Amino acid sequence: MPDTDPHTLPPRQTGVGHVFAAGGYSLGGLTRLWQEAAFRHEVLAFALLLPVYIAAGARPFEIFLFIGLFLILAAVEALNTAVEDIVNRVSPEWSEMGRDAKNLGSLAVMFLLLAHGLLLAWVIIT
């Protein structure tokens, strides 16, 4: 009979199996991140702004930078969501430390949004 203990870890994958397992974990993370309205809004903004960059005559490097900034934003949004989930799990009651952790994650996302704004302003001005 298979072990049904929810605390038992699955066997560790090695070799090519590890690559496929890691891909599955990443897909699971993307599925979780898609549940966040902020991430869906960021994806929508990316899809709407890419044609704006092209229409504004952005150089290839600027478009590359826009795409790179979006990927960094998605990564930071994923980490912010992870921090929020962990804080909610470990400390479901309100705490100043929990609030600070969530606020710092939010600040990191805001900094990247500001970087996007600066890049867009640069492309439009130049």
Determine contact, residues 13/21, Cβ cutoff 8 Å. yes
Q: Is 77 one of the catalytic residues?
A: yes
Phi and psi (nearest 5°) for 74?
A: -60, -40
Residues 92, 30: Cα–Cα separation, whole Å: 24
Phi, psi of 35 (to 5 degrees): -70, -15
List the catalytic residue out of 36, 42, 62, 77: 77
CA distances from 83 to 7, 62, 79, 87, 115 (A): 22, 31, 6, 6, 22
Please give the positions annotated as active site: 77
